[in-house]
Amino acid sequence: MPLPRKLEIILPVRSTAVPLGPDWVYEPKLDGFRGVLFIERGRGRFLSKQGNVMRRFRSLADELARTMDVEEAIFDGEIVVLAAGGRPAFYPLLFAAGRPSYAAFDLLWLNGEDLRALPHHRRKARLKRVTKASPVGCIEAVKDPALFDVIVEMDLEGVVAKRRADPYGTSTEWLKIRHLGYSQKVGRAELFHRRRSGRPSSLSGRR
């Protein structure tokens, strides 16, 4: 089966509350750029959530493709820059001021096998196996909704809630619950407005 050139990704829906129940698992939302990593015969490429080639991260994609023990694969995850202590730092990523890395939360394709119809927990198990001892990080899912409280204490962006039995497709709903006090969000809306309008911006005093 040929590797698909593009695919429709799941875009999380914002929620104000963490859903509860045994059907749900919870993952930390890393503050980075969403990137779908395609690996094919030792070459890699990232596509954005809009389906555009992320040329800025071509060297990272190729580096990961050369070091992963796979012929073909498609990962869904986040491109991040990690600061001291292993926390994502968004502004160094935005301004190309740090070394990017990749953390995957889903595996959609592996060596000619389309995994998208599998339930989330089975895709996650395959992802953990294929990323073990590799440069691609694996974002773990936990069953305890108290993960959100931990995220708030650590000043991270939030969590994404997913159903264990769901396949990967546009009919599947993921819920994104933001940490409203997240410090790296301060001033970001103004920054993006200035960048879109072409006006200079200052990041002094912002974290």
Q: What is the pTM of this model?
A: 0.90
List the domain range (segments joined by +) for residue 113.
Answer: 13-197
Q: In this structure, is residue 67 part of a structural domain?
A: yes
What's the angle, vertex CA 19, arms to CA 33 and CA 173, rounded to 5? Answer: 50
Burial (CB count within 10 angstroms: exposed 0-12, middle 13-18, buried 19+), residue 162: buried
Q: What is the mean pLDDT of the chain?
A: 91
Q: Which pLDDT band, with edges at 50, 70 and 90, does 187 fall under? A: confident
* pLDDT one-digit tens code per residue, 143-175: 999 999 999 999 999 999 999 999 999 999 999
Asked if residue 98 is part of any domain, the answer here is yes
pLDDT of residue 85: 80
Q: What percent of the chain has pLDDT over 70?
A: 91
- Band (pLDDT 50/70/90 cuts) for residue 29 is very high
Kindly state whether residue 28 falls inside one of the protein's structural domains: yes
Residue 205 lies in a domain: no
Q: Is the pLDDT of residue 204 over 50?
A: no
| Count of domains for the chain | 1
In a domain, residue 73? The reply is yes
For the residues 113-119, what does the mean pLDDT come to? Answer: 98
Per residue in 39-68, pLDDT tens?
999 999 999 999 999 999 999 999 999 999
* Residue 207 is assigned to a structural domain of this protein: no
**Is residue 1 a part of any domain in this protein?**
no
The domain spanning residue 96 has which CATH number? 3.30.470.30
pLDDT of residue 201: 36
Query: Distance between the two ends of the chain, CA-based, in angstroms?
Result: 47
Q: What is the pLDDT of residue 144?
A: 98
Give a yes or no: residue 2 inside a domain.
Answer: no
What's the CA gap between 73 and 134, in Å, rounded? 14
